[in-house]
Structure 1
Amino acid sequence: MTPIPTRPAGDPDSVRAALSTLDQPLFVVRCDTGIAVTNDAAQARTAQVLAAVPPCRPESLGDDEFRHDHGVRLAYQAGAMANGISSARMVVSLARSGVLASFGAAGLLPDQVAEALAAIRRDAPGMPFACNLIHSPSEPALEQATVELCLRHEVRCVEASAFVRLTPAVVRYRVAGLSLHGGRVVAANKVIAKVSRAEIAELFLRPAPERMVRELVAEGAVTAEQAELARRVPMADDITAEADSGGHTDRRALVVLIPELVALRDRIQRELGYPRQVRVGAAGGIGTPSAAFAAFALGAAYVVTGSINQASVEASQSDTTKQLLADARSTDCEMAPSADMFEMGAQVQVLKRGTMFAARAKKLYEIYTGHAGIDTIPAAEREALEDRTFRRSLDDIWSDCVGYFRDRDPRQIDRAEHDPKRKMALIFRWYLGLSSAWSIAGEPGRLTDYQVWCGPAMGSFNTWVAGSYLAPVRNRFVADLSTHLMRGAAVTGRVAQLRVAGVRLPAAACTYLPTPLEKGT
């Protein structure tokens, strides 16, 4: 295809304005003054039309069923960030703007989760939202407690993350919401499973394990009728392909992961013939309009953002940490041991710039794998840990751990008292757990210990908004971020359509630039 000459009449700003008028068709025409890009249908009727693209509103991107089933305006989700960083305030703000958001319940005590869910239900009555349900192999009681709270507060969607296997808790949540209406199985409790591996995706693409369901029936957690209905529906309504993201991540490439999961979904759909197909969304690296459009172009039903929301006004993060995030580049991330799956060697992606957390956490894991317990650590190494990392004696830290788990999960203490390796893990997890709390609180003496979950999308977002009104943290309202990303994705889609038609527009005109939104937009 021969490219259409590109010296459009008018300056790049006028071309950009035409591209951004998303509710009208766009025409590239040859006129007396040369090549013009216009939304004027009358002008197009009297000129030679070289290319045309239809209206493309942000609401038309992604899967219609996602918007319908979740009752939202955009095929967009703000994913959960643990310890309540995805705050009730953030969830409410996005719910009111027609966007699905997931409350960051992971790492919180049940009373804190209950308080947040009640606040969301009060401040966004009847509006859709999700609650994070994180796999907790070290503390299964917390996973069970989260499900109990979601059922009690009638939370109709959970974002299941970091699962390495199905558990009775997540199966109970799904099956307890099943009913039969007009011969059709209705799943009142929706599950969005965030995965990065095909074998985990398959667990959620298939029905709940029958053995596990039978056990739930025996316990009275679900009914026999619901158990029978569970055979006819998958465990999840949506599968989020999690690529290179903040927090728990395998740093997968999105262009590989989405097609892989779509192909798996299609194979299982052919095998089982569900009445409705499970949707596949995209997360990880979504920080710019181009990234969002690329995900939709790969076939994603919806996109999920995470890291960029952590620096928003509504995020439960300290101003110090938000500024660290706003200064980050896409290369300022590093992998470090996770608190919740420390013994398993699981890692999370964190911010590297401005903090020493990653290096110190790696050292703790190195010591953990090399010693049988605290008492076997050489004296000099133990002294260095107490002076530089913990800043207290390890015996004092253990006393804190006992008090912490007495309320949270007393079984942890019993196990550790008879297992020196387990005791060492809990002591080390004290640091890993509190490091994120210090970041959230903005603890002034612990800046170099801040654990800030972050993926490369944060840096790409900062580059995109540099020089715009969204550069300062004080202007990063989370609803604005979703609006601009989706508007920009729609503009990027129009540019791509023109490019396929042979139109080559000036690069300066093709970049969507965020400008302040009018109230009510």
Structure 2
Amino acid sequence: MYKSIVFMFAGQGTHYYHMGADLFSKDLVFRQNMLRLDDIVRKECGFSVIDRLYDEEHRKTDDLTDLGTTHPAIFMTEYSLAQVMRSKGVEPDYVMGCSLGEIVALAVAGAVSAEDALRFVIKHAQTVQQTVEYGRMISVFADKSFYYENNELKLNCELAGVNYSGNFIVSAAQDKTADVTAFLKQKGVIFQELQVSYPFHSSMCMRSRDAMKQLNGTISVGVPKIPVISCLTGEITNSIDFEHMLDIPVKTMQVKKAFEAAEKTGPKQYVDLCFTGTMANFIRYNERRDTATDIVAMASIMRDFSESFKNNYEKIKLNMVEKENYTERNRKMSDTLIYAFPGQGSQKKGMGEELFDEFPEYVRRADEVLGYSIRDLCLNDSEGNLNKTNYTQPALYVVNALSYLKKIKETGRKPDFVLGHSLGEYDALFAAGAFSFEDGLRLVKIRGQLMSEIKGGAMAAVIGLDEETISNILTENGLTDLQIANINSPVQVILSGKRDDIIAAEQLYMDAGARKYVVLNVSGAFHHGKYMKAAQDKFAEYLDKMTFNKLQIPVISNYTARPYDDLRLKETLREQMSHGVRWVESIRYLLAENEPVFEQIGPGDTVYSLMMMIKRKCEPLSEEERKANILDDVPVEAVNVQGPETGTKKGLTASELGNMAFKQELGLKYAYLGGGMYKGIASPQMVIRLANAGMLGFLGTGGQSFDKIREGIKLIRSSVTDGAFGVNFLFDPDDMRKQLELVELFIREDVRIIEAAAFMSITMPLVYYKAKGLSVDQTGNIVRKNKIFAKISRPEVAEAFMSPAPQKLLNELVEMGKITKLQADIAASLPIADAITVEADSGGHTDQGVALALFPAIKKICGNCMKKYNYADRIYIGAAGGIGTPEAMLAMFMLGADYVLTGSLNQCTVEADTSDAVKDILQSIGVQDTGYAPAGDMFEYGAKVQVVKKGGFFHARANKLYSLYCNNESLEELDETTRKNLESKYFKCSFDEVYNKVKQHYDQDIIRKADNNPKYRMSLIFRWYFHNATVSAISGDMDNKVNFQIHCGPALGAFNECVRGTELESWKNRHVDSIGIFLMEGTAMLLEKMIGSYSK
């Protein structure tokens, strides 16, 4: 199936020195476009963007803040990259841009020429610098409702953009920024100040808009040749004018709304052409993404374009093949378009605001039927009636119906099928022409009144059990006063019955393995239950008086999960009232249609989310099932609940979080792991405490002697009762022989779990450890004694660990006599890793990955590898990096993590084997007190570690050493001043003395190499600074405190803030297991609260 290609462009904050440099040097099309556009900048501004952008005096990470440079630079690079794509035969079906990126999109779409668009961008930068006061833009990781619900925010900043449901942007004046950030900190909300110096997308920029009006008439704006997915309007449009361009920098960015509009037109292949992958991330984070959607980020600050293009072009090329014989027009006509209407529970104050003025005649008719103002009820709810059943149902019917009319008006196309959830079925029948708007409203009004008169009812959501299991429990326990009301998804079923019975039945379902049992906040009615029978009989009297028209569009019935039969329309609609909503089966029926495209028509997105979940997890009905006549099917009925007289809702517990199979396999109570830390900071005491609490810890082995490691393992084994433990295995690029010897130690000591950290590829020691633990039992089943947890921060490395061992290494191990031929054969059919810990930006070694982008990508790769190699057992996926609060941990579990792992957070505990001085420093840091420095153990590779900046010079000095290493070939090239400064302040001894110490640490082969290679000798001497800085910190050498190297990420700062004012504020009260339980219990409480809020 062809997926419409969307070119995406981003704005301010996505720029950096040397963006596109690889392309500029290698690609003729990119270079020619850049040079052509740069000529315009030279004429308009008197300088060259190319000269400034690709200035060799600057590194990528240097600040690039001049708006006069960044504005045209962003436009030029993104526009030129689009032309590269076109030169390779990739043409977009849509364009989408955010902020300045929308100007690029308009130029690519042909609504304005590239030259005029660039002049507009240049002029805008100039007018902003002349008329707008400095300010800041802040990315807030919360729902936009948080902004509207807090006057402190609304008074001090303006809503600048909504990127996805968990992220919005605010703009603040310079003098208000501190107030905004202080408030966010107080509320415990995660935020990030963007590298933007002006408060764009706010009223503070209106003076620049007024000044830009002078360009009107000098810039030609026409109809775009390609539809524009506008983040300004949140809609797909072909209507662009100069006023639209003026509004782009000052109005709120509607990325989420624009994305949702795009998704409604079918599957897309989103191609991000900004140089940071920002737009691709926004799309990934939006929860309503169609399952067939592709996301491609063509460029990245971490990789050159050649690498990105090679990795992504094949995916685009495959899609382009589909396009050759399958045009967008034909695709739309061949899709099966399905509209679904939501039911009770989707109502909210303010719904329909954009509809009432557009359809005044329908509003007038609704008021006449109802006897009150539908506008006032929906927008003001002045009498508090909106959540009462007899008002809710008419209100939703009207808003759904007007939403449908607006959709038809905009698209000119009617759907191929319609359906509605409960009440929404009446809107589906209206859309299909069964009755007029007014007649449908009269039915709904009567339905709502009758349902509201029946009191004492309740509903409960059973989450985590399927329909069959729930139905069997009803039957086996004689719970015939309860009934299945809705089958919303494969693992979400709604029960209906008397309130006391609903509450009393909870324990049965929890004992049966339900993940959650939530009593819903409904207004007393027995929705879709046997107690609706009396109301149904009265309702039937009204139905009998009605005349129904022949349906013009097939309507899927809640009652039968099949299309309505015109001859049995009244009967089917009558039975809907007292029978369950068979939502899963309804969607499965539609999945069998040709390329179904689902859209929700009406407020919220609950129904859409349910449909997407069913689409992901369920197969279409077979042809035989689709033809089955099930009109006489009825849910289970009759007899009282035999349970406790009263019951209270059991809260979600910390031990329920994470993957149950993972915990059972390892014998854990909690899906919580403590990572290994260098030099034994992750001490035996830490691992023991975690194991005895039902968690899994890894002993830190990096930089430790074999004797020390062996002693630690023996101590753990003698102290752990029946818990699991593991040992950290840190990659050492310089000494593979030592790595192999360490693995042999693990095998001798019967270490069953290792944590592979900092590996960039699969090595022989890893394969040896894995294969050595493989055997076949008497029944022929494979036994995997040795497990590898790979801590990974790059997708391509994750894929290597998810693949079988390289055959070459297996053959070599067999030849060496390390493993048997049988073990090699078994290993060739299994993944190297049993679990992948996806490590986002963290303390210590880090690739500075973003969890919300990295985790889904690696999870998708895991699914692909499972299918490709046909593995029988799943590979578990955990999350690490940045987890220091329950909120952060919840985000990881919501992404689908089987477990979570914390690292540097645990070095500020009693059990951490480091100095009290280090713990005192760590206890005092905030989220802003860490930064990146070169990794001492991978110095020459440019690898990074995250360290504490506060209270010392290590961070700055380490970066200085790396800069000197990169720019000099030997120590002899250093000038005398630099040399003396290093020897006196950094090393506190001469280079020769340092080298003598180095010789005592390394094998003779390494020393001989250093004697013959001045550059390598320099690296060993510089590495000693890192080693000494770590040793000084761990030992608490206060004479060298300014040089302490303390690996740590901002998660600890977040934790410090979280526990401020509690017993855990002091590290002397922090035990590693107590922290784990604190975080897990806090996460469970947050999830409980979230589920409760969603169920209301």
Tell me by how many angstroms 1:55 deviates.
3.6
Partner of 2:1031: 437
Match of 1:368 in 2: 965
**Residues 391-416 of structure 1: CA distance to partner in whole angstroms, max 9, x if unpaired?**
101100000011122xxx33221211
- The match for 1:327 among 881, 899, 924 is 924
State the shift of 1:355 in Å.
Answer: 1.6
Aligned mates of 1:201, 1:291 — CA distance in 2: 22
Are the counterparts in 1 of residues 520 and 1095 from structure 2 also a CA contact under 8 Å?
Answer: no
Q: Deviations over 1:335-371 (max 9, x none)?
A: 1011110011111011111121011011111111122
**Mind listing any 5+ residue stretches in structure 2 that lack a counterpart?**
1-345, 350-383, 385-509, 524-643
Per-residue Cα deviation, 1:138-172 (whole angstroms, up to 9, x for no partner): 23233223212111111000000111111111111
Do residues 155 (structure 1) and 768 (structure 2) align?
A: no
Match of residue 424 from structure 1: 1018
Alignment of 1:477-492 (within 5 A): 477-492=1071-1086
1:273-288 residue pairs with structure 2 within 5 A? 273-288=870-885
Q: Give the distance between the partners of 1:490 and 1:474, measured in 2 at CA.
A: 26
Q: Distance in 1 between matches of 2:848 and 2:1092?
A: 32
Q: What is the CA-CA distance between 1:87 and the residue it aligns to?
A: 0.5
Partner of 1:511: none
Q: Once the 2 structures are TM-superposed, how far is the Cα of residue 266 of structure 1 from its aligned partner?
A: 0.6
> Match of 1:341, SS?
helix
- 1000, 1010, 1018: which is aligned to 1:403? 1000
The aligned residue for residue 388 of structure 1 is 985
Aligned to 1:271: 868
Alpha-carbon distance in structure 2 between the residues aligned to 1:473 and 1:251: 27
CA-based RMSD: 2.1
Partner residue of 1:497? Answer: 1091
Q: Aligned letter for 1:398? A: Y
Larger displacement relative to structure 2 (152-161 or 68-77): 68-77
Q: Structure 1: how far apart are the matches of 2:738 and 2:1031?
A: 18
Contact 1:78 1:306 in 2 (8 A): yes
For residues 282-321 of structure 1, the aligned pairs below 5 Å read 282-321=879-918
The CA distance in 2 between the partners of 1:189 and 1:211, in whole Å, is: 21
1:104 lines up with 2:704 in the alignment: no
Tell me the secondary structure at the aligned position of residue 711 of structure 2.
Answer: helix
Q: Which residue of structure 2 aligns with residue 464 of structure 1? A: 1058
Residue 1048 of structure 2 corresponds to 454
Q: 3-state DSSP class of the match of 1:186? A: strand
Q: Deviations over 1:2-54 (max 9, x none)?
A: 4699xxxxxxxxxxxxxxxx9996757799xxxxxxxxx96779xxxxxxx75
Separation of aligned partners in 2, 1:146 and 1:434: 24
- 1:30–1:265: structure 2 CA closer, same or farther, 3 Å change rule? closer
What's the secondary structure of 2:911's corresponding residue? coil
- Is 1:84 the counterpart of 2:706? The answer is no
Shift of 1:119: 1.6
Is the Cα–Cα contact under 8 Å of residues 328 and 462 in structure 1 kept in the other structure? Answer: yes
Distance in 2 (alpha carbons) for counterparts of 1:183 and 1:43: 51
Q: Which residue of 2 aligns with 1:225?
A: 822
* TM-score calculated relative to the size of structure 1: 0.86
1:122 and 1:417 mapped to 2: Cα distance? Answer: 46
Query: Retained in 1: the 8 A contact 2:1056–2:1065?
Result: yes
Aligned with 1:67 (options 642, 663, 666): 663
SS in 2 for 1:281: strand
- Structure 1 distance, partners of 2:656, 2:721, is 26
Structure with higher RCO (Cα < 8 A, 6+ apart): 1
Alignment match, 1:510? none
SS in 2 for 1:66: helix
Contact 1:138 1:341 in 2 (8 A): no
- The 2-side partners of 1:310 and 1:217 are apart by 41
The alpha-carbon deviation at position 265 of structure 1 amounts to: 0.5
Residue of structure 2 equivalent to 1:515: none
Q: Distance in 1 between matches of 2:950 and 2:348?
A: 44
Deviation, 1:126, is: 5.1
Match of 1:180 in 2: 776
> Residue 191 in 1 paired to residue 801 in 2?
no
Is 1:340 the equivalent of 2:937? Answer: yes
Partner of 1:140: 736
Residues 71 and 128, structure 1, Cα contact 8 Å, conserved in 2: yes
Contact 1:185 1:233 in 2 (8 A): no
Partner AA of 1:194 in structure 2: K
How far did residue 136 of structure 1 move? Answer: 0.9
> If the length of structure 2 is used for normalisation, what is the TM-score?
0.42
Task: Answer whether contact 1:138 1:340 (CA < 8 A) is retained.
Answer: no
2:1008 paired with 1:414 = yes
Q: Are the equivalent residues in 1 in contact too, given 2:692–2:722 (CA < 8 A)?
A: no
Cα deviation 1:480-521 (Å, max 9, x = unaligned): 00111111111011011012123xxxxxxxxxxxxxxxxxxx
Give the alignment partner of residue 216 of structure 1, picking from 791, 813, 827: 813
Give CA-to-partner distance per residue, 1:207-230, whole Å, 9 cap, x none: 111101100111111111100111
- CA deviation digits over 1:301-349, x for unaligned, max 9? 0000012101010001111111111111111110101111001111101
* 2:958 is equivalent to residue 351 of structure 1: no
Return the alpha-carbon distance in structure 2 between the equivalents of residues 42 and 469 of structure 1.
39
Stretch of structure 1 that moved more, 379-388 or 141-150? 141-150
Distance apart, 1:382 and its partner CA = 0.8
Using the TM superposition, give the Cα deviation of residue 84 of structure 1 relative to its aligned residue in structure 2, in angstroms: 0.4
Contact between 1:77 and 1:303, CA under 8 Å: does it hold in 2? yes
Counterpart-to-counterpart distance in 1, 2:824 and 2:722: 28
Question: Equivalent residue of 2:1015, what SS?
Answer: helix
2:60 is matched with which residue?
A: none
Give the corresponding residue for 2:760. 164
The whole-number CA distance in structure 1 between the counterparts of 2:972 and 2:708 is: 35
2:638 matched residue in structure 1: none
SS at match of 1:343: helix
Structure 1 CA distance, aligned partners of 2:733 and 2:801?
18
**In 1, Cα distance between the equivalents of 2:909 and 2:895?**
28
- 1:470 maps to amino acid: L
Contact kept in structure 2, 1:79 and 1:102, CA below 8 Å? yes
**Aligned partner of 1:183: which letter?**
G
Q: What CA deviation, in whole Å up to 9, does each residue of 1:172-206 have, x standing for no partner?
A: 11111011122222210000001111100011101
Asked if the contact 1:27–1:44 (Cα under 8 Å) also holds between the matched residues in 2, the reply is no
Contact 1:177–1:189, Cα closer than 8 Å, also in 2: yes
Q: How does 1:252-267 map to 2 (within 5 A)?
A: 252-267=849-864
Report the counterpart of residue 641 of structure 2 in structure 1. Answer: none
- State the distance in 2 between where 1:383 and 1:397 align: 14
Structure 2 residue identity aligned to 1:310: Q
Contact 2:518/2:1092 (<8 A) preserved: no
* TM-fit CA distance, 1:72: 1.3
- Matching residue's letter, 1:392: C
Count of matched residue positions in the alignment of Structure 1 and Structure 2: 468
Rounded Cα–Cα distance in structure 1 between residues aligned with 2:1074 and 2:837: 23
Q: Is the 8 A contact 2:844 2:1047 kept in 1?
A: yes
Q: Provide the rounded CA distance (Å) in 1 between the counterparts of 2:910 and 2:1001.
A: 30
Alignment partners' CA distance in 1, 2:1089 and 2:975: 62
Q: Is the 8 A contact 2:692 2:721 kept in 1?
A: no
SS of structure 1 residue aligned to 2:936: coil
- What amino acid maps onto 1:414 in structure 2? R
Structure 2 CA distance for aligned equivalents of residues 152 and 365 of structure 1: 39
Q: Is 1:201 aligned to residue 798 of structure 2?
A: yes
Percent sequence identity over aligned pairs: 37
CA distance in 2, matches of 1:3, 1:172: 60
**Letter aligned with residue 98 of structure 1:** G
Contact 1:281/1:302, CA 8 A, preserved across alignment: yes
